[in-house]
Structure 1
């Protein structure tokens, strides 16, 4: 391969990142995808010599070869340094594409795509009301929903800029997030309508009902576990079944298998084979919405947050009326 002499780009005091050119990343990504300088040039609207020149300049700046060229230069492959830069090139290209989409939306009014993360309970009880108001204000915005059981995974997608907003449960893990609290969602005990729990009076104290088998959510962020919410690590041994599907927990509770500790939003309140009881000494979860602090909110995103606050306020008022107890 021989020895390559790389001239220094910039001055000795200029940091490497400041000498990198965004165009070089885009070119590297296209060369890697097409496997050829000729095809990359055609896709980018450059001449082949311009593509070669940009790759040479990139190699000059980082002082590493990024492309292995075959004999005759008809095909290429990435070096280890090239593969490292390619990961960043793909991320930068995706960010540029999203930025272009945002700018186009601003240019054409409130239009485009808004990507929102959610989980089952807010999807069933909150989002329909949010969308009803939102679509009147932003009829040209397409809201694309992503549902996952764990809001930790949704936050990861916000951090990677794969989502614009996501519904969350407080407290949040560390990360580059801004948040807006929306509503309090009380934890309750759900059991079969024919169970002894249904005929008991007053809030249920789980510490006083040690023989009551429990069900709760599966592997999620620790903020969601029954042990964390109730501040009782020993409850881990009382949980006989875990599932991230509300319908599964409710059906098993109705059958009498065990009682489920769930948030109010996770319950199908039309079922008459279940009873819902207040839990003593259990704080409600706080449902909110989060976004990346380093990405300015578009008008479409700000509008969605506003409609979420309106819908959440109305829903919390209905919950208070339905529950019949303070929480």
Structure 2
């Protein structure tokens, strides 16, 4: 069976459907001798005849062995055609990619990346999943957005440095960068101790600030709600809140009846690294995944220009 050839199956099917070697040759654009050679090679590979040949103009009859080969041969050719189409779509940048993401990337970077990718490749399929914050792994993903490096061996690109900002009720701080040490002992609403949060808290401690964590939540909106309720201040990455900050006054406007929240830069200003990871060996990366990386870099570069560190 190792010598079996898709052309031989194609020829056999044509003969079965046309009834004679000569009509099959005309249909396929082969000479009759080529058709005979294909069938002879097929029968040698199978170890038996696939057609009974009555001779003359009478139609050939398929043998029991030929019937088995015909049934499965059609399936093989259909799968081969599907494979060829999938490879063509892959090379054209269509196909599917599986992408892992995190909350603020999903909020600030990914929507623009997905919109541009779908405009370029409307037939592509993109499957998203949220990374486990305390144990992010690439696994079977094609790409993974994460705030920092991960345990898996990967290649990666630094998309941007995302500065942390102080979010507090109005009047808590003057309209200038807040010295980090002024957060020492203050009540703070914070993320859980996953992702980049431990590094942030160490950075604050190194600057002389050990805030009192009064509540932890993975939800940015929940944290802002707790700050509005007077539970304490928050230190959040710019990317997590930039779309709700008023460009004119620098405030976060809440629902009617809630005070606005003021956003202030920190001094020194800690930042987290937003990285995009993929399996080692870019040579094997699909065109769709490679294009996603290129778009993500472009989108992040534009976004970084709006960040406080870029405006300074």
User: Structure 2 length normalisation: TM-score?
Assistant: 0.62
- Within the candidate set 141, 152, 158, 1:175 is matched to 152
- In the alignment, the residues of structure 2 paired with residue 304 and residue 319 of structure 1 have an alpha-carbon distance, to the nearest angstrom, of 22
Given the alignment of the two structures, is residue 203 of structure 1 paired with residue 190 of structure 2, yes or no? no
Q: Which of 254, 265, 273 is residue 286 of structure 1 equivalent to?
A: 273
Deviations 1:198-222 (Å, cap 9, x if unpaired)? xx14211231342421122103145
| Corresponding residue SS for 2:115 | helix
Is contact 2:214-2:231 (8 Å) kept?
no
Say if 1:169 and 1:262 are closer, same or farther in 2 by CA, change over 3 A: same
Q: What RMSD in Å do the two structures reach over aligned CA positions? A: 2.7
CA distance in 1, matches of 2:155, 2:287: 16
Instruction: Name the CA distance, whole Å, in 1 between partners of 2:221 and 2:291.
Output: 31
What is the CA distance between 1:237 and its match in structure 2? 6.1
Shift of 1:238: 2.0
- The residue correspondences of 1:75-154 to structure 2 (distance < 5 A) are 105-108=86-89, 109-148=92-131, 150=133, 153-154=135-136
Question: Structure 1: how far apart are the matches of 2:190 and 2:205?
Answer: 15
Question: TM-score normalised to the size of structure 1?
Answer: 0.59
Separation in 2, partners of 1:260, 1:102: 53
CA contact 2:191–2:216 (8 Å) conserved in 1: yes
Question: Between Structure 1 and Structure 2, how many residues are aligned?
Answer: 215
1:78-109 Cα offsets, whole Å, 9 max, x none, are: xxxxxxxxxxxxxxxxxxxxxxx998643333
CA contact (8 A) 2:155 2:280 kept: yes
1:306 aligns with 2:294: yes
Alpha-carbon distance in structure 2 between the residues aligned to 1:122 and 1:114:
17
How far off is 1:325 after superposition?
4.9
Cα deviation 1:279-305 (Å, max 9, x = unaligned): 111332121200111572110000000
3-state SS of 1:257 partner: coil
* Structure 2 CA distance for aligned equivalents of residues 287 and 102 of structure 1: 36
Q: Give me the whole-angstrom Cα distance separating, in 1, the residues matched to 2:184 and 2:83.
A: 55
Residue 304 of structure 2 corresponds to 316
Question: Which of 224, 230, 233 is matched with 1:250 structurally?
Answer: 224
Number of the residue aligned with 1:166: 144
How far did residue 315 of structure 1 move? 1.1
Q: Secondary structure at the match of 1:129?
A: helix
Q: Which runs of 5+ in 2 are unaligned?
A: 1-81, 247-251, 254-259
CA distance in 1, matches of 2:99, 2:234: 28
Compute the displacement of 1:112 (Å).
1.9
User: 1:129 Cα deviation (Å)?
Assistant: 1.0
Question: Counterparts of 1:188 and 1:181 in 2: how far apart (Å)?
Answer: 20
Partner secondary structure for residue 175 of structure 1:
coil
